[in-house]
Amino acid sequence: MKILYVEDSAAAALVMRRRLSSFGHAVVLAKNGQEAVQMFRIEAPDLVLMDIEMPVMNGFEAASLIRAVEATQSWAWTPIIFLTASDTEENLITAIEAGGDDFIAKTVTEPVLQAKMKAMTRIATLRRGLTIANQKLEALASSDGLTGLCNRRSMDNRVDASFADAVQLQQPFGLLMIDIDNFKKYNDHYGHQQGDDCLRSVALAIASTVKTDNARTGNDAAFAARYGGEEFAVVLPMASAERTASLAHALVSAISALGIAHEKNADWGCVTISVGGAHLPQASGKIAELFRAADACLYQAKDKGRNRAELSI
């Protein structure tokens, strides 16, 4: 595991580093509490071993700040063990109140130190497992179960944040609303199982087209989401009007090119989409207004024959 060892004595740090390294651990050194907090942000260690009495900032103050850092990061808790020559009752109480988890003497014997590190290694392994599990749960909570795109809740959160940034930075903002043409007729004719397959194929093509456009423009902020049913949205923070329009037409072409048979989609014979787009040269007002404008353009695309994009730019 990775250990952040905090000690102002270079000689003591060298000795402890050798001891810990002999157990197979990677050791990162900091010479005072202030440096420890900075190193903690950068290294994200599995364990903090820290002296108490140090110049600039003592161990108790550093522990409190480390706990504050953790509150803003993806990991929830890192064990902090204080090393000191003075294991008084008062120091023990202060250590725990400052956010520490254990308290051992600097003169701790080799077997006891090794046993402590084995216990901390087990905790570090559990923490990594929990972190991975939480990341998977977060991904599941933010993804649409059928298509794998952002779900509506996740989209709303991302849109609100990106639009607020665009307003503050006076940046442009684009939005595309997408609807599969005559999808109810598709479901009725081919069945819901094939309808789900169609939704997945369309979603994959949308995501791929957006990814390609992100790479082409060097602006990877755009993302696709399942808005609901057979409706999708593509959000384009900081995108120009030209990029918004270009992507809208590219999406229409990409879905038509899939060649998914749709006998009930009059005039086309395959699965197609209609796209409505709206763009602000400088973000302002409320994001709901942009959605309404894009939705109005979507209805225009439907009225004009489908398999097309209409934009308000």
Take residue 168 and report the two structure tokens written for it: 């503050």
Which pLDDT score is estimated for 106?
A: 79
For the chain, give every domain's residue range. 2-142, 152-312
Which pLDDT score is estimated for 138?
A: 67
- 98, with CB counted inside 10 A (0-12, 13-18, 19+), is buried
230 is catalytic: yes
Cα of 188 vs its chain's centroid, Å: 38
Which pLDDT score is estimated for 126?
A: 82
Strands across the sheet containing 80-84? 26-30, 2-6, 47-51, 80-84, 102-105
Residues in the chain with pLDDT values less than 70: 74-76, 86-88, 91, 135-141
Query: What gap in Å lies between CA 222 and CA 111, rounded to an integer?
Result: 55
Class of domain 2-142: alpha beta
pLDDT of 184-241, one tens digit each? 999 999 999 999 999 999 999 999 999 999 999 998 899 999 999 999 999 999 999 9
The domain made up of 152-312 has a fold known as Alpha-Beta Plaits (3.30.70)
Active-site residue identified among 138, 230, 231, 310 = 230
